[in-house]
Amino acid sequence: MKDDQWAFEREARKNGYTAVAGIDEAGRGPLAGPVVSAAVILPESLPVSGIRDSKKLSPKKRERLFDEIHSHAIAVGVGIVSPADIDRMNILQASLWSMRLAVDQLRAVPDFLLIDGIFPISSDLPQQAIPKGDSLSISIAAASIVAKVTRDRIMDTYAEAYPEFEFSKNKGYPTPSHKAAIRRNGYCPIHRRTFKGVKEYCR
């Protein structure tokens, strides 16, 4: 993350906003499981170090920061969209919808949204889409950690129900062993049936 990881939040506050929420999602690429988004409102004084894009953190560090973010954030919201809804509306729309759901779950109402990516979400709130926002904004980075850890925990639960797919290892992503398991076993109820690598086995 660049040196000034508070730049977007500070700019929003300079423009009169007081409750700035960062929003990010996890799980656009997997063949199985939900897409999960998080929205996080951080205080201006945050006694937590090491927050950065979740993809650049080890699982152990993500877990630690997940707890610290929940302890110190003004508000945290999570939105989850199921594989069936992903198939129904497509992954882009499902991702944007999960972001909206995450905002709706915030117990403190935000007045400005910082969104990872290039697309706005369906909301009347003022918002700014930031490409690679999880590497540029501390609020979005915090949201990326919450979304990733939440989704990983969901996939660990699914691993118990469908052990043949080893979801605790691949988290639903199209690893060679996961794709081989689909070829061998077919798909299960949490697979995304419109995704290449799964739809070929749907009859």
Residue 58 lies in a domain: yes
Give residue 82's domain range: 7-201
Residue 149 lies in a domain: yes
Residue 1 lies in a domain: no
Residues 6+ apart with CB under 8 A from 105: 39, 77, 78, 79
Residue 2 lies in a domain: no
Q: How high is the pLDDT of residue 28?
A: 97
- Series of mean pLDDT values for 10-residue runs along the chain (203 residues): 81 98 98 98 94 95 98 98 98 98 98 98 97 97 98 98 98 98 96 96 84
Entry pTM: 0.96
Q: How high is the pLDDT of residue 202?
A: 87
Q: How high is the pLDDT of residue 116?
A: 98
Domain of residue 60, CATH code: 3.30.420.10
Residues 6+ apart with CB under 8 A from 58: none
> For the chain, what is the domain count?
1
Q: How high is the pLDDT of residue 70?
A: 98
Q: Is 172 left (phi over 0), alpha (psi -120 to 50) or beta?
A: left
